[in-house]
Amino acid sequence: MLEARLEQANLLKKVVDAIKDLVQDCNFDCNDSGIALQAMDNSHVALVSMMLKSESFSPFRCDRNIALGINLTSLTKVLRCAANEDILTLKAEDAPDVVNLVFESAESDRLSEYDIKLMDIDQEHLGIPETEYAATISMPSAEFQKICRDLMALSESVSIECTKEGVKFACSGDIGSGSVTLRSHTNVEKPQLNVEIDLSEPVALTFSLKYLVNFCKASGLSEQVRLCLSNEVPLLVEYALSNNSYLRFYLAPKIGD
């Protein structure tokens, strides 16, 4: 059986909120290392990969591998019933028909309990190769969100160019063009504002802004976001969570001329 207790419902609320417009029905794969989810969007252009390690829960118990097929719209409805600071416990039997969610207020004696019916989801699982990326950029997640939103007003695509000079986000559309360039930057007082660029060779790739703006819904989960790029491979956008848990998005590039 599965029993996983989260100190704050807010974490799961934010994760589901960040991915529910990209993917609809997903398997939450539970085993003794934690709860994982991998799902592609309908167009097979973007992929969500979530890992909530067992250390992110206290306690965490999962005796055998269980796949919980959950519709994220249903999960959102139930998670709205939890206060952000509620303690959340997920429970399921070994061959479950439902997943049980319990919300407890740490401050009062309220205890709410909901069951969500599970679905059989036949999901394609993609093997993501270990990649040594040519460029890794860590930057404030709010800054990345603003850049994506700003450029989307002009164009549907953005080119991301990373050189020794810095990283340049550029677009051009019907009304004109625009770009934002960031250089490495260290803020000792506020390290969450740092921009760190780690480059082994220059990269230039083009991506659809629609998906990037969608990924940025995860900005509330982490002050910093990490972008990993290599020429001609999908972009990795990573929001690191506590205890080595993470929410990652992969986006296939636009290619050819």
CB atoms within 10 A of CB 40: 18
* Residue 43 or 108 with smaller CB distance to another protein: 43
Instruction: Report, in Å, the least distance between residue 173 CB and another protein.
Output: 13
Residues 34-63 touching another protein, rule: CB under 8 A, are: 40, 43-47
Whether the Cβ atoms of residue 51 and residue 99 lie closer than 8 Å to each other: no
234 belongs to the binding site for another protein (CB under 8 A): yes
Residues 202-221 touching another protein, rule: CB under 8 A, are: 206, 208
Q: How far is Cα of residue 43 from the mean position of the Cα atoms in its chain?
A: 18
109 belongs to the binding site for another protein (CB under 8 A): no
Instruction: Report, in Å, the least distance between residue 190 CB and another protein.
Output: 36
Of the candidates 1, 126, 153, 192, which one interacts with another protein according to CB under 8 A?
126
Residues 136-165 touching another protein, rule: CB under 8 A, are: 157
180 belongs to the binding site for another protein (CB under 8 A): no
CB atoms within 10 A of CB 164: 9
* Residue 76 or 131 with smaller CB distance to another protein: 131
Which residues have CB under 8 Å from 42's CB, separation 6+?
none
Using only C-alpha atoms, the chain has a radius of gyration, in whole angstroms, of 20
Q: The tokens of 225 are what?
A: 């976001």
Q: Site for another protein (CB under 8 A): how many residues?
A: 24
The residue ranges of DSSP E strands in 7-72, in sequence order, are 25-31, 34-40, 46-53, 60-62, 66-71
255 belongs to the binding site for another protein (CB under 8 A): yes
* Residue 156 or 201 with smaller CB distance to another protein: 156
* Residue 60 or 250 with smaller CB distance to another protein: 250
233 belongs to the binding site for another protein (CB under 8 A): yes
Q: How far apart are CA 100 and CA 5, in angstroms?
A: 12
* Residue 89 or 208 with smaller CB distance to another protein: 208
The letter for the amino acid at 143 is E
Q: The tokens of 99 are what?
A: 């997943």
252 belongs to the binding site for another protein (CB under 8 A): yes
DSSP string, 212-237: HHHHGGGGGG-SEEEEEE-TTS-EEE
* Residue 127 or 176 with smaller CB distance to another protein: 127
Report which secondary-structure segment, H or E, holds 73: helix 72-79
Which residues sit at the interface with another protein, rule CB under 8 A?
40, 43-47, 124-129, 157, 206, 208, 233-234, 250, 252-257
